[in-house]
Amino acid sequence: MGLLLFDVVLCALLLTLAGAAMLSRQLVHAVTLFIAFGVMMALAWARLQAPDLALAEAAIGAGLTGALCFTALARYAGDAGYPKPKLWLPLVFVAAVSALLLYSVFQIPAQPTTELSERVAEHLAVSGVSHPVTAVLLNFRAWDTLLELLVLLLALLGARQVPSQLPLHAGWSLSVSWSRLLSPMLLLLSAYLLWRGAAAPGGAFQAGALLASGLVILRLNQQLAWLSWQNFAVRTLVLAGLIAFVMAGLASLLLPGQLVWLSWPVALAGGIILLVETFATLAIALTLALLVVGEPEQEPADA
Amino acid sequence: MLSFYLYLATAALLLGVGSLGLWRGPELLRRILALNVIGAGIFMLMVSLAYRPVLYGEPADSVLHALVLTGLVVAVSATAFALALLGRLLARPQ
Amino acid sequence: MWPAVLLVTLPLAAALLMLLWPRRARVLHFAVAVGLLPLAVSFLLQVTVSGEQQWFLGNWGPLLAIRWQADGLTTLLLLVSVTLHLLVSAYVGSIQRRNPLPAAFWPLSNLLLASLQALWLSRDLFNLYVCLELLGMVAVALVTLSGDKALRPALDYLLYSLFASLCYLLGVALIYAGYGVLDIPMLAGQLEANWLNAVALTLMTLGLMLKAACWPLHLWLPAAHASAPAPVSALLSALVVKGPLFILYLLWTTLAPAAFLPAAAYLLASAALGAMLFGGIAAIRTPYSKSLVAYSTVAQLGYATLALAFILRFNLPEFVAAMWLFVLSHALAKAACFLAIGELQHTLGARQVEQLKGASQTMPLAMFAFAVAGGSLIGLPPSGGFLAKWALLLGLWQSQQFFWLLALVVATLLSAAYVFRVVVLAFDRAAPTAPDFSPQRLPQYLALLPALLVWVMAVFSLPLLTLLKQEL
């Protein structure tokens, strides 16, 4: 009963926050409400026994997306004069669609089909890791994960096409010293998350997102001047996850008897996965950090 | 069982709320947020589905969790790209 | 396995290396692009000789793994993508001195090729979602290469594309809710005709139609394709919109329960009719030459959608052949059109159709390329476009759809009108628009090449038809 009450409150809160973010008059409120919505989502994932997602959502939904949105928000200053949007027509249409969707989700059978989960459990022993989510991500459906890293890289490449700089303010001494104190802890924590991912919730993405937030904090306080795409080492690390992944995949094709793309031999699977994950963590962290803070200030690049 | 349906309903309603924001706007930033709310609704649906086996005393569906994790990364990448485009659009001298 | 893996990973690895060493990008690009061509040809031959091949990635067996499948159609699409990739990049290389694209073009176009190849091969609902998202983001990144004027169309394109992928993902989630399977061949014939599946398939179809710019969901396309640099527009129109169309075809021919097919056929056929008529009319009316070609893409996609609708309705092999012949011939013809128009536009400094006056005199080669490609768009014999239209007419005649025969004739007249609108102006030699500089020959020949390839397609019509008719 207590749990149900918690669920009701959480769901009501989620809907209220989302609705308020969509309908609020001012964008600042919308963004703030959206960040709160992200935090609540993380809570919901934890409640629904998805700790991996809760970790990822907390780092992303609440942290990085918020930072990104506030950067965009800073440019809306002086940008006003949108006509007052219509409410009723969209509302009626969307209410009809929601009712349809609501009816549809109640048609979902409560009895799950467990064949796929059973298959995962069966093969977990030969996957190289003991945490099923990591096994799916880095072994059973590794191709999805490789493409996902590519999507992340593309976001960075695309964003680099359209640079727009916001001046970084000189570090406030208190925040500078705080950032110096926080970042080693974040580094340690993300290494722990990565290591733990083999056996328990955690893994490359969560660790990478956490590390990225550490990098962003430091960068915003005028540290880490080397953090730039122009820096060859940074570029190498951004690409390292994909390069390691592709090379591991191609190497697996060369092994005798293994003629399938991305099939790790059982004996080496654990090692390969850890290797790929480590590079992926670094790549994810640097990519996300570069996405949030952009390039350091320089003279205007030639158009 | 009741909470399973509660989360499913929340997922469907989040989709509705997100679509409303997407249609209504009016700012582009709010449309981007709305897309994220729609995404959150879909992920909520998927995670609730992953929770189904738990009702029968089995562990949650790890494949769905992995898919949602992939989806989250894709969503944040797309959002970051969209916000970068938006930033440039707004910063551009008129 | 090797050819399939290399067709995907070579462009991917090349893109990564280009990002590391941008200065070597062009050399690497052409080395890879040229190398991929014989690979794709040999793969096509291998599959035609020894039949369909499939792999479960990671060797995990069905259900658990992502499935790749290479049948005749897939290998043909792989080959066409590789060919157009090479042609378009050769064009970009040839205009490098005059108006260079940003260096980011090279890695991005390789990533575009890699994500397309991944899409053609994949037979997994979720993996296809990731491929779609990837394709959409590369496409938007490529549109932004033309600078600030493309920002708004690019952002609109991205938002539409994101919404479309979310619709598709929701559909996938609902199907997974019912069956717990993501593998398309395993789901074939399993889906029951219930409410949940109807909603799921509707959502996926809407998302894919939005991505494939099927009328009336095409609103993002003209602005995005017209504002991109010409070679990018060529890639987008020729290849990118075909990806979602391919998934649509997979879904409806293998997944959908038979009870849904009539309704879907009706929906698709009405969308196709709208596309052919309104797309054609918009192409006739627009003042800008690149918009004309972009609207023509909307109209031409209508033919492929119409063929898909009739595949669902009558299940005749003629319609399958027609659909994919439309896709292939449109890919080649549209690449030629965009490259030719890009060349004309740049040399004559002409954005408007009116300014192409006398182009047959000032730039005969580019104009010839446009006219030849336009001939295939209209469906003049013996071009690839004619083959496709002939197959469609044959199928319509067999199934006695006389209303649609009439619609097809009207649509053909419309495409003839917008092609001749340009050609007639080009032959108006009274007061030709003077070129800003003396026209370059090589890029014009490169624009002509795909146009000639469409006509060569007719020579290979028999093997092509046998390859495509096996599909059912």
Query: What DSSP assignment string belongs to chain A?
Result: -HHHHHHHHHHHHHHHHHHHHHH-SSHHHHHHHHHHHHHHHHHHHHHTT-HHHHHHHIIIIIIIHHHHHHHHHHTTTT---PPPPP-HHHHHHHHHHHHHHHHHHTTS-SSPP-HHHHHHHHHGGGSS-S-HHHHIIIIITHHHHHHHHHHHHHHHHHHHHS----PPPPPPHHHHHHHHHHHHHHHHHHHHHHHHTTTSS--HHHHHHHHHHHHHHHHHTT--TT-STTSHHHHHHHHHHHHHHHHHHHHHHHSTT--STT---HHHHHHHHHHHHHHHHHHHHHHHHHHHH-SPP-SPPP-
Predicted pLDDT of residue A79? 55
CA dihedral A41, A195, A273, C119 (to 10 degrees): 20
- Identity of the residue in C133, C148, C159 whose CB atom sits nearest the CB atom of B74: C133
Q: Assign A299 a pLDDT band (cuts: 50, 70, 90).
A: very low
C133 vs A contacts (CB less than 8 Å): 151
For residue C217, pLDDT over 90 is answered with no
Residue with tokens 């509302």: A91
Q: What is the largest CA-CA distance in chain A?
A: 67
> Which residues of chain B neighbour C148 with C-beta distances below 8 Å?
88, 92
Task: From C175, B37, C362, C296, select the one nearest A35 (Cα to Cα).
Answer: B37
Higher pLDDT, C315 or A279: A279
pLDDT reading at C402 higher than 70? yes
**Mean pLDDT score, A171-194:** 80
Confidence of residue A220 (pLDDT cuts 50, 70, 90): confident
pLDDT average, residue stretch A280-293: 89
Q: In A, residues 143-202, which contact C (CB 8 Å cutoff)?
A: 143-144, 147-148, 150-151, 154-155, 157-158, 160-162
Structure confidence at residue A166 (pLDDT):
65
pLDDT score of C394 more than 70: yes
Which residues does residue C68 pair with via DSSP β-bridges, in sequence order? C55, C122
Token digits of residue C26: 């062009």
Flag whether pLDDT at A298 surpasses 80: no
Instruction: Give Cα C203 distance to the centre of its chain.
Output: 22
Query: pLDDT > 90: what percent of chain C?
Result: 45
pLDDT at C124: 93
Asked which of A226-235, A266-275, C354-363, C376-385 is least confident by mean pLDDT, the reply is C354-363
Please determine, for residue A82, whether its predicted confidence score (pLDDT) is greater than 80. no
CA-angle at C80, arms to C68 and C323, nearest 5°: 85
Segments making up each domain of chain A, as ranges: 1-74, 130-296
Answer whether residue A302 shows pLDDT above 50: no
Instruction: Name the token pair of A194.
Output: 């990565």
How sure is the predictor about A301, in pLDDT bands with cuts at 50, 70 and 90? very low
Predicted pLDDT at A293: 81
Measured between alpha carbons, how far is residue A115 from residues A50, A111, C256, C409 in Å?
20, 12, 22, 52
Whether C46 shows a pLDDT value over 80: the answer reads yes
Range of weakest confidence among A253-257, C37-41, C52-56, C145-149: A253-257
**What DSSP character marks residue B92?**
S
Query: What's the full length of chain A, in residues?
Result: 303
Q: Which of A14, A94, A155 sits opposite B78 (nearest CB)?
A: A155
What's the rounded mean pLDDT across residues C160-171? 95
Q: How far apart are CA A21 and CA C466, in angstroms?
A: 56
**Burial class (CB within 10 angstroms; exposed 0-12, middle 13-18, buried 19+) of B2:** exposed
- The partner residue sitting opposite C155, judged by closest CB among B28, B64, B70, is B28
Q: pLDDT value at position C345?
A: 85
CA distance A210 to A13: 26
Give the one of A113, A158, A239 whose C-beta lies nearest to C144's C-beta.
Answer: A158
Which residues in chain A (75-104) have CB-CB distances under 8 A to chain C? 100-101, 103-104
Retrieve residue B7's tokens: 């989360």
Which of C166, C174, A6, A46 has its CA nearest to residue B40? C166
CA distance B78 to chain A (A): 6
Q: C120 with C74: CB under 8 angstroms?
A: yes
Interface contact A109-C177, CB threshold 8 A: yes
Mean per-residue pLDDT, C339-346: 87
Alpha carbon B56 to its chain centroid, in Å, reads 27
Inter-chain CB proximity B81 and A50 less than 8 Å: no
pLDDT of A303 higher than 70:
no
The mean pLDDT of B76-84, rounded to a whole number, is: 91
Collapse the DSSP code of B39 into the 3-class scheme (helix H, G, I; strand E, B; otherwise coil) and give the result. Answer: helix
Determine which of A107-121, A155-169, C76-90, C415-429 has the lowest per-residue pLDDT on average: A155-169
Q: Which of B14, B36, B81 to mutate to test the interface with C (most CBs of C within 10 A)?
A: B81
pLDDT given for residue C23 in this prediction: 87
Q: What is the ipTM for the molecules in this complex?
A: 0.96
Q: What is the 3-state secondary structure (H, E, C) of chain C?
A: CHHHHHHHHHHHHHHHHHHHCHHHHHHHHHHHHHHHHHHHHHHHHHHHHHCCEEEEHHHCCCCCCCEEEECHHHHHHHHHHHHHHHHHHHHHHHCCCCCCCCCCHHHHHHHHHHHHHHHHHECEHHHHHHHHHHHHHHHHHHHHHHCHHHHHHHHHHHHHHHHHHHHHHHHHHHHHHHHCCCEHHHHCCCCCCCHHHHHHHHHHHHHHHHHCCCCCCCCHHHHHHHHCCHHHHHHHHHHHCHHHHHHHHHHHHHHCCHHHHHHHHHHHHHHHHHHHHHHHHHHHHCCEHHHHHHHHHHHHHHHHHHHHHHHHHHCCHHHHHHHHHHHHHHHHHHHHHHHHHHHHHHHHCCCEHHHHCCHHHHCHHHHHHHHHHHHHHHCCCCCHHHHHHHHHHHHHHHCCCHHHHHHHHHHHHHHHHHHHHHHHHHCCCCCCCCCCCCCCHHHHHHHHHHHHHHHHHCCCHHHHHHHHHCCC
As a whole number of angstroms, the distance between CA C34 and CA A32 comes to: 51
Per-residue model confidence (pLDDT) at position C120: 95
Place C42 in a pLDDT band, splitting at 50, 70 and 90.
Answer: very high
**Under an 8 A CB cutoff, do C155 and B85 touch?**
yes
pLDDT tens figures, C440-455: 888 888 888 888 888 8
Question: What value does the mean pLDDT take over residues C81-102?
Answer: 89
> Would you state the pLDDT for residue C136?
93
Q: Residue A64: what pLDDT?
A: 84
Contact at CB, A133 and B65, closer than 8 angstroms: yes
The DSSP code for B1 is -
pLDDT grade, residue A152 (50/70/90)? very high
Residue A3 has pLDDT above 90, yes or no: no
pLDDT tens per residue across span B14-72: 999 999 999 887 888 899 999 999 999 999 999 999 998 888 888 888 899 999 999 99
Contact criterion met (CB < 8 Å) for C64 and A119: yes
Structure tokens belonging to residue C134: 């990837």
CA distance A266 to A277: 17
Lowest-pLDDT choice from A189-203, C95-109, C263-277, C325-339: A189-203
Least confidently predicted of A77-81, B84-88, C52-56: A77-81
Tell me the three state secondary structure of residue B12. helix
User: Would strands C53-56 and C67-70 be described as parallel, antiparallel, or unpaired?
Assistant: antiparallel
Asked if the model's pLDDT at residue A25 lies above 90, the reply is no
Q: What is the distance in angstroms between the Cα of C24 and the nearest Cα belonging to chain B?
A: 27
Look up tokens 């080395």; give the residue: C31
Which pair of tokens denotes residue C344?
């004309």
Select from C141, C154, C169 the Cβ nearest to the Cβ of B42.
C169
- How much is the average pLDDT of C143-169? 92
Q: Determine what percent of chain C is predicted with pLDDT higher than 70.
A: 99
Question: Does residue A297 contact residue A165 with C-beta atoms inside 8 Å?
Answer: yes
